[in-house]
Amino acid sequence: MQNSKNGKITVMLLGPSLAAVSGVSTHLNQVFSSVLSEQFTLLHFQVGSEGRSESAIGKLGRFVWSPVQFFLRLVKYKPQIVHINTSMHFKSFWRDMVYFFIAYAMRTKIVYQVHGGQLPHDFLKHSRLLSRLLEKVLLCADVVILLAQEELHSYKEFAPTARLELIANAVEIGVDASWKKTAPLQSRPLRLIYMGRLDECKGIFELIEGFEIARREIGDVMLTIAGSGPDENRLRALVGQLGLTAIVNFLGVVTGEKKKRAWEEADLFVFPTYAEGLPYALLESMAARTPPLVSAVGAITDVIEDGEHGFFIALKNPRALAEKIVRLDGERHLICRMGEACRQRVVSQYSIERMGQDFSRVYRSVLN
């Protein structure tokens, strides 16, 4: 079944603004810039508040009008597939349920992609009725796309007859920072970077505490923080209280060449997050030969092997983080070895070309 005008299957992708700074926006931009745009007619329908500037009244109006707009778009463009990008967070789930049931009522094939959040047995567990609703949604979707092996096992247990597919995130590989193949100079400070949302759940306060402990032991070490978020002011205050202002640099949100330089100039990516799907920052750091010190959560354990591509660090444990920083400051050659392994891992398994092929296969299969 194909679009009668150009012979292509039409896919409507739901998600935030393409200009928003978020993982789902990154994913959507990758889809639109991949080979999928040549093989399919891709349409974008914006949902949610990310990337919008609106008043409370405007938000209320969108809440009412957006489902109507979605219905009218389905009538106008008649997509064969609706690709819903959601997460198992309370707000996102209930918002996207409206669009799901509209698409289902219109007999449109539904690709339901879950970008992290709680596992199904934990989500809505306070209500058996709502848990059954989630199970029904998973069964009604033509395919459910997941990011991690952990998620795949959990969803199989929760909804054994649902069609589940594992498609990991991807990253633009970019130019190889090949100079990192040689050991970073011992004569300069070790350079750490955090890139992501400045939110307590990302472990940013443990990061600063661990960094301060490491600084007391090794002296020369620097930290760059890139990103923005609700806890930025608290984080800046902690940096000031600990007397770290001169060696902690806040870049704000970085994109393009500035982001590329930030990755390439860093020796280690530090990301002690509490919970995650598959963060793009991890893949970007690995592509730039910047090994991660990261929590073993979500799909992160699918991507890296402890001691091979980086190190796992215990949750909410600044001392453990500091110990890894101190060790690697004295073993710069190990940073180089892990950086090479990171680059090879991403090139071989996490390219946008691979992602495009995976989605092309799934899109075509749901119509057969």
| Domain range annotation of the chain | 9-170+351-366, 178-349
Q: Give the pLDDT confidence score for residue 2 in this predicted structure.
A: 53
Find the farthest-apart pair of alpha carbons in the chain and give their distance in angstroms, rounded: 68
3-state secondary structure of 5: coil
Q: Are 222 and 191 in contact (CB under 8 A)?
A: yes
Domain 9-170+351-366 of CATH type 2.40.50.140: no
DSSP state string for 97-138:
HHHHHHHHHTT-EEEEEEEEES-TTTTTTT-HHHHHHHHHHH
Distance CA 168, CA 276 (A): 13
Predicted local distance difference test score (pLDDT) of residue 290: 96
C-alpha–C-alpha distance, residues 259 and 120, integer Å? 35
Topology of the domain covering 178-349: Rossmann fold (3.40.50)
pLDDT at 61: 82
**Residues 6+ positions from 116 with CB-CB distance below 8 Å:** 23, 87, 88, 147, 275, 276, 277, 278, 298
Burial class (CB in 10 A: 0-12, 13-18, 19+), 241: exposed
Segment (H or E) for 315 = none
- Residue among 52, 34, 54, 53 nearest 42 (CA): 34
Tell me if residue 84 falls in helix, strand or coil: strand
Its sign, for the CA torsion 286, 272, 201, 243, is: negative
- Note whether 9-170+351-366 and 178-349 share their fold: yes
Average pLDDT per 10 consecutive residues for the chain, totaling 368 residues: 69 94 90 96 91 77 91 98 94 94 98 92 85 94 96 96 96 87 77 96 97 95 96 98 97 94 96 91 96 94 97 97 96 94 96 96 96
Length of the chain (residues): 368
List of residues 6+ apart from 310 with CB closer than 8 A = 269, 291, 292, 293, 294, 304, 338, 342
CB 8 within 8 A of CB 35: no
Cα–Cα dist 267/253, whole Å: 20
The Cα–Cα gap between 234 and 300 comes to 27
